[in-house]
Amino acid sequence: MQSPLQVLHITDLHLMADENALMAGRNILDSFTDVLAAARQKVPSPDLVILSGDLSHDEDKADYLVTYTRLAKMLKQLFRKTICIPGNHDDIELVKRIFPLYDIDAQGTFSLDNWQFILVDSSQMGIHEGWLAETELGLLDRALKDKNSDKNSGPGEMHNLVVIHHPVVELNSAWLDRQRVGNADKLFELLARKKNVQGIICGHAHQAYDTRVDEIKIMGTPATCPRQFTPLSSEFSVDESVTPGFRCLDLYPDGNIKTRVCRL
């Protein structure tokens, strides 16, 4: 079997300009650097690192700038390639401007071997709920060529992994489900027509889950910040029984995905 691409999924950092800032009584930056160290122990040289939003928990432009600049520097020192999307807690414009890590093409895509990564922005500044604007759905439509077309079938076929900040499925958690991508039905209509997306990775839920919609793997990953959310809770609730974490994905040339969640 050919060797897979090794990808790390890191999400919901909620870093702040103040390096001593706490969340759930623990240092947010320390939690992030501990996750990075654990991830590098598992996968010393990942082909790609994907950050799926809520990079910062700041509230004003100056603080966002400090946080993003520090984060970009850290990631550049550690990893050969990082791509990221903003979340509802981010300054969307600053994320896209500051991160040289966001060096994808204008279509929001990035390719490695025969895998294409499509970054879809579900965030709306100042609003917790997720939504896919027509421009984002259009971007996705263009990035996913028809599987049955001559160009995109056979040995050179591309496999696709979509990255979205908000969950695209219900998690049986009423307060979180209200914030999921509100027009996810449009997303799945599109993906059902294209038939060539292998997986979707999401942030925002601060918990691990693995499910499927048709043949598409849907994966949620714990936050790196200290605050994990209690699964299956109807109201906001912090889960004290689990630690921050990350996800490893092995992406095989035949389109298979093997994945596991690791925690501190």
Give the footprint of Fe ion on residues 15-74 (CB under 5 A).
54
**Contact, 196 vs 85, CB < 8 A?**
no
Residue 30 Cβ vs Fe ion, minimum distance, rounded to whole Å:
17
Residue 206 Cβ vs Fe ion, minimum distance, rounded to whole Å:
6
CA–CA distance, 262 with 244 (Å, rounded to integer): 9
Between 67 and 88, name the residue whose CB sits nearer to Fe ion: 88
Which of 57, 180, 194, 204 is in the footprint of Fe ion by CB under 5 A? 204
Give the footprint of Fe ion on residues 66-125 (CB under 5 A).
87-88
180-201: burial string, b at 16+ Cβ within 10 Å, e else: bbebbeebbebbeebebbbbbb
Residue 152 Cβ vs Fe ion, minimum distance, rounded to whole Å:
33
CA–CA distance, 129 with 72 (Å, rounded to integer): 26
Q: Enter the DSSP assignment of 209.
A: E
Closest by CA to 214, choosing from 225, 226, 227, 199, is 199
Residue 211 Cβ vs Fe ion, minimum distance, rounded to whole Å:
19
- Quick one: CA dihedral 92, 98, 99, 104, positive or negative? positive
Count residues contacting Fe ion (CB under 5 A)? 5
Region near Fe ion per CB under 5 A, out of 19-27, 36-44, 200-208, 255-263: 200-208
Between 46 and 87, name the residue whose CB sits nearer to Fe ion: 87
Residue 94 Cβ vs Fe ion, minimum distance, rounded to whole Å:
16
**Contact, 213 vs 199, CB < 8 A?**
no
Region near Fe ion per CB under 5 A, out of 57-65, 68-76, 100-108, 197-205: 197-205
By the criterion CB under 5 A, which residues form the site for Fe ion?
12, 54, 87-88, 204
